[in-house]
Structure 1
Amino acid sequence: MLRLLTGAALVTLAVPAQADPLADALATADPVAVTAVLEAGGDANAVLMYGESPLARAIETQDPALVAVLLQHGAEPNVVDAEGLSPLSLACERGSARIVRQLLDARADARKAGPDGATPLAICARYSSAAVVEQMLHKGARADAADARGQTPLMWAASAGNIDAIAALLKAGAKANRVTREGFTPLFFAIASGSADATRVLLDAGADTTHRGPENTSALQLALYQKNWRAAQMLAARGFDLAERDRNGEQPLHVAAASGDIALLDALLSKGADVNGLTGPSRITWVTEANFGVAPPPVPPTPPLLMAAQAGQVEAMKLLVARGADPRFVAENGVNVVLAAASGRSADALQAALALAPDANVADARGTTPLHLVLGGGMHDQLGAMLRVLAAHHARPDLANARGTTPAQMAQGGLATVKAVYDQVFGQTGAPVLANARP
């Protein structure tokens, strides 16, 4: 923009931006067009818009032919962009093994770290193949070079579950038990990746299963937090304390019961997990700020069977009972297996719970019955089926809870969609139903 002062007026004139033939040619992603510009005197190392180099722009296209043209015309493979990222690091992040090899053959520095200390090897270990990792190691990249957070290439590979890259780095001498400043090891990264195979490779390489991460978290607890059930199954076989409670106050068997993973449940029970073990206080102090959330409410001691029932895991319920779970257990707040199932969203689990404890009108300490809970759960695809299960077991819609509210009144005053489903099963609730005192 050009500004001119004429008298008392300020006049702004639009001036077209100067054309950049090389940038325009790169935008076409046509190697022939780029070659023509370079042979006409274009600079292969010119600084483009936003501090980007022509080589970086070519790498973004993921076209090896375009990269080759620039390298042949003198593009510097080690120039960094405005953010301090080298072409090799960018190529590793974009994932083209062929382009990475082109840059390495052009003497790109495999040890040149970015502003955060992350080396090209680390980035390639996450995004590229084992062959590329091996080539970078051959070019002098250090297998254990740590970034600013203490993360090594092995950790980067583990975080992506890149099994072949993990194996290549271990073969090159990467340490399996390095620890970041935050307390994470390669094994923890593998578990968090969700890859059971990556976890297995590191375990076979001697990963320390006794290491504790942040909040004193064990490897098994991390696998359960991450829902990496196969990794948890492998770890359970290695002698963890199955009575230890996690940050939620749950033992491993509680988490497995809620997950419904039968193989994990069986593995934990076979290792001696207490089928009637109870949840307890969290072993960490929850720190919250005003208006930014609250700590989880205290939960009365609860066995795995009730966790499975609430989660709708019928097969888990059957396995737990077959292995000795007590179907008559009642928690301190009066919740039993039927009430636990009624607070979930599975008609099959509710049916299974009533087979274990056949009372559809059982109430907790606040007078809440299964019918109260099902109606209070709102509209969902299991609502009608759950109501039919309760109706078949003679659930009463006129029993009041501690607030004096009956299920019929809840249906009448609640969502129209819920009322419509309720009416189909229990009949019309056009007029309020008076509460009857419980026997």
Structure 2
Amino acid sequence: MLAFAPLSALAHTGEDIARAIAADDAAALGAALAHGGDANAVFDYGETALARAVETQDPALVDLLLKAGARPTRADALGLTPLLLACERGNGAIVAALLAAGAPADQTNSDGVTPLAMCARFADGDAVRALLARGAVPDSVDARGQTPLMWAASAGRQDAAASLLAAGANVNRATSGGFTPLFFALASGKAEAASALIAAGADVTHRGPEKASALQIALYWKNWAAAEELVRLGGGDVSELDREGRRPLHVAAAAGQGTLVAALLERGAEVDALSGPSRITWVTEANFGLPPPPVQPTTALMAAAKAGQADVMWQLVRAGADEHFVDGAGVNLVLAAAQGRSAAALGLAIELAGDANAADKTRTTALHMLAGGPYFPELPAMLRVLAAHGARADLPDAKGKTALQVLTDGLAPVQAAFHDVFPDKAPASLALSH
């Protein structure tokens, strides 16, 4: 006659196992298993005791459960197996233990993601090599068309990528959207990962989403060192416009990347080439049919000034940039620099363009801009630069408002900064309250 443990006893041993794992207590787990605890206990959402032990990242707990007969093949309600979870958590020793216990190297989750892909992104090179040795397919494709090499590249994991390449992974395979492993590496921000793929034969001339070049992808993700390497290797047209209408020189100048600016100029980028129209559909345009105001074509020097990049401004001027350029809205270098939140950039712009009272087509001056804008740390210094170069606060804009009148509706910290620099020009009420 078979004897069955009471349901209360089974529940008790299951609770003991859960408590032991939660406490990361190998002795308590061993005792619970020795007293009839089920190594294949299942908790909420189909999570197994083995999976919960993997979460602790303690190989001792995993070993105890495996020796007690825990099955490494059982997935939870989301299709996540203990091996997939171990790869995601990155512990190579646990990955090896699960493989040794018979965990299938190719058992995917509901999205078709393999343990190899998961380990390639999150675990060390040893885990990747262990999976490959067990027959994991290096070019397996998940539901999004991504291979393990793409997963490794997206995290900038060179060791994993090298092992996959050595096993025959295709360095130039592309997703349906046009992303290759190189593009994933560029998006990771790790230039050395991109360099390794390029050295392995990655196609630097490949075009991705919206026909974007490798150079444009690197610039979009601010992977400056990789962008410089691509410029030198011909990984994109140095004069091409991106989806925002910017050329590579505009992007590099606005970011203050002088070395990249130099590389672009050396490759033939025109120092005064203009930006173009944006191809982005904005939310207001999509929802209400109202596009944003058109962005005026501008130069890299103006982009640098607007971003407050004084060093790059001077670098571009030395390379022949036109310091007297005025865009279609009447904005010149001084007015561009007034938006850059840098006193050094504003001072240089005035020295180059020559007029602190320059106004655009709406007769807005730099003082108008600063008087009606937010407070920021460089504001007092910028006001002092303008004052030193004879900026006037009494010039009316197209609406008849002077900078002083704009100031009366401005923020209190801006008013106080203005009063400190122009005490004799502040409104009487402001002078009294200050």
Please say if residues 408 and 432 of structure 1, whose CA atoms lie closer than 8 Å, have aligned partners that are also in contact.
Answer: no
Structure 1 unaligned residues grouped into runs of 5+: 1-14, 434-439
- Find the partner of 2:204 among 196, 204, 209: 209
Number of residue pairs matched? 418
Alpha-carbon offset, residue 205 of structure 1: 1.3
Q: 1:225 to 1:399 in 2, by over 3 A?
A: same
The alignment's TM-score, normalised by the length of structure 2, stands at: 0.93
Q: Is residue 332 of structure 1 aligned with residue 293 of structure 2?
A: no
Aligned to 2:4: none
Does residue 405 (structure 1) correspond to residue 368 (structure 2)? The answer is no
Q: Which residue of 2 aligns with 1:371?
A: 367
Name whichever of 238-247 and 353-362 sits farther off.
238-247
Q: Is 1:38 the equivalent of 2:37? A: no
Per-residue deviation, residues 257-277 of structure 1 (Å, max 9, x unmatched): 001011111110110000000
The AA in structure 1 aligned to 2:388 is A
How far residue 79 of structure 1 moved from its aligned partner, in angstroms, is: 1.2
Give the equivalent residue in structure 1 for 2:167.
172
- For 1:436, the equivalent position in structure 2 comes to none
Q: Measure, in 2, the Cα distance between the counterparts of 1:98 and 1:375.
A: 62
Residue in structure 2 matched with residue 385 of structure 1 by the alignment: 381
Residues in 1 aligned to 2:252 and 2:429: alpha-carbon distance in whole angstroms:
43
Q: Secondary structure at the match of 1:237?
A: helix
Matched to 2:427, the amino acid is: G
For 1:241 and 1:342, the matched residues in 2 are separated by: 31
Relative to structure 1, the CA distance from residue 223 to residue 349 in structure 2 (aligned partners, 3 Å threshold; closer, same or farther) is same
Is 1:222 the counterpart of 2:217? The answer is yes
1:126 and 1:340 map into 2 onto residues whose CA distance is 43
Q: Residue 246 of structure 2: which of 244, 250, 254 is its match?
A: 250
Q: 1:261 aligns with which of 257, 260, 264?
A: 257
Alignment of 1:5-154 (within 5 A): 19=12, 20-154=15-149
Deviations 1:103-157 (A, max 9, x none): 1111211111111000000000001111211111001101000101110000000
> 2:409, 2:353 → 1: CA distance?
30
Q: Which residue of 2 aligns with 1:235?
A: 230
Distance in 1 between residues matched to 2:23 and 2:309, nearest whole Å? 56
TM-score, length of structure 1 as denominator length: 0.92
Cα offset for 1:412?
Answer: 2.0
Aligned amino acid, residue 155 of structure 1 = M
> Residues 289 and 400 from structure 1, CA distance in 2 versus in 1: closer, same or farther, beyond 3 angstroms?
closer
Contact 1:338–1:357 (CA under 8 A) maintained in structure 2 = yes
CA positional deviation for 1:413: 2.3
- 106-115 or 84-93, which deviates more: 106-115
C-alpha RMSD of the superposition: 1.9
> 2:172–2:202: 8 Å Cα contact kept in structure 1?
yes
Q: Which amino acid aligns with 2:23?
A: T
Q: 1:430 aligns with which of 423, 427, 432?
A: 427
Unaligned 5+ residue runs, structure 2?
1-7
Would you say the 8 A contact 2:384–2:421 is kept in 1?
A: yes
Amino acid at match of 1:359: D
Deviation at 1:18, TM superposition (A): 5.2
Distance change >3 Å, CA 292–CA 158, structure 1 → 2: farther
**Corresponding residue number in structure 2 for 1:302:** 298
What residue is the counterpart of 1:319 in the other structure? 315
Q: Secondary structure at the match of 1:221?
A: helix
Deviation digits for residues 183-205 of structure 1 (CA, Å, limit 9, x no counterpart):
21111100000010111011111
1:56, 1:351 → 2: CA distance? Answer: 62
Q: Per residue, is there more helix in 1 or in 2?
A: 2
C-alpha change, 1:284 and 1:143, in structure 2 (3 Å) is: same
CA contact (8 A) 2:371 2:404 kept: no
Larger mean Cα displacement after TM superposition, 208-217 or 222-231: 208-217
Any idea what the Cα deviations from partners look like across 1:361-417, whole Å, max 9, x if unmatched? 011111011111122331110110000000000100000111111011112221111
Partner letter of residue 69 of structure 2?
G
* Deviation string, structure 1 residues 12-34 (Cα, Å, up to 9, x no partner): xxx9x954222222222211111
Aligned counterparts of 2:292 and 2:271: Cα–Cα separation in 1: 24
2:372 and 2:232 map into 1 onto residues whose CA distance is 41
C-alpha change, 1:243 and 1:287, in structure 2 (3 Å) is: farther
Q: CA deviation at 1:281?
A: 1.6
Percent identical across equivalent pairs?
Answer: 57
Q: Is the 8 A contact 2:46 2:75 kept in 1?
A: no
Residue aligned with 2:146, SS:
coil
Runs of 4+ in 1 over 3 A off after TM superposition: 283-297
Q: Supply the AA of the counterpart residue of 1:210.
A: T
SS in 1 for 2:233: coil
